[in-house]
Amino acid sequence: MVNDTGEQDPHHDGPRVSARAVILDQDERLLVVRQRAVDRDVHVLPGGRVEIGETAAEAVRREVWEETGLRVTVGDLLWVREFLPERHLGHPLHTTAMQQLQLVFHAHLQADPASAEPRRPDRSQTALVWHPLADLDSLTLLPLGLNGYLAALAAGPTSPMYLGDLA
């Protein structure tokens, strides 16, 4: 539904569904997308909105290709995460007013990661970064609270988990 200002009203159209990828290389580095926020750089997992007529796995493949230029095979569902904006009012890193449901999948590279080059990067995207899984605390990674779950991947596979609304 469109509101009086001509903008999409997130409260009437339901939650935005997105699909994101956890991509690790052989050196246990995580691929993240650097974005410029209001006054700082933040990092997110590659991925985005699930479009009408596509599955979440198809959205992961498309979004990773657009944002990184890499082809991936989508693996297991790792986490289901929700974002309820009204619970984060005033937080400088949570600026969206749209409720979201994020599906996070493990994804495997089909080609050499040296070929990474965004095809259709997001407007705020400034770089692709391979960051050591063991050193995630040095990044501002959104959603906040995901670092521990990502670091646990180094210990081996996990079962799908509902994360709720992370801080």
Residue 79: name the closest of 155, 153, 29, 11 by CA: 153
Is residue 94 scored above 70 in pLDDT? no
Check pLDDT > 90 for residue 38: no
Q: Quote the CA–CA distance of 165 and 156 in Å, as a whole number.
A: 24
Two structure tokens written together for 146: 């995901």
Q: What is the pTM of this model?
A: 0.84
pLDDT recorded at residue 12 = 55
* pLDDT tops 80 at residue 11: no
Confidence of residue 93 (pLDDT cuts 50, 70, 90): low
At 144, the pLDDT band (50, 70, 90 cuts) reads confident
Residue ranges of the domains in the chain?
16-165
What's the pLDDT score for residue 5? 47
Asked if the model's pLDDT at residue 96 lies above 90, the reply is: no
Sheet holding 125-132, edge to edge: 125-132, 29-36, 41-44, 141-142
d(CA 4, CA 124): 27
- Burial letters 130-163, b for 16+ CB under 10 A, else e: ebebeebeebebbbeebbebbeebeeeeeeeeeb
Interval 48-79: pLDDT, tens = 999 999 999 999 999 999 999 999 999 999 99
DSSP helix, strand, coil percent of the chain (3-state; round to 5) = 20, 40, 40
Indicate the fold that domain 16-165 takes in CATH.
Nucleoside Triphosphate Pyrophosphohydrolase (3.90.79)
Helix extents (H) in 54-133: 56-68
Residue that is written with structure tokens 């498309």 in the block: 62
pLDDT band for 6, please (50, 70, 90 cuts): very low
Task: Kindly report, residue by residue over 117-129, the tens digit of the pLDDT.
Answer: 777 677 888 899 9
pLDDT of residue 73: 97
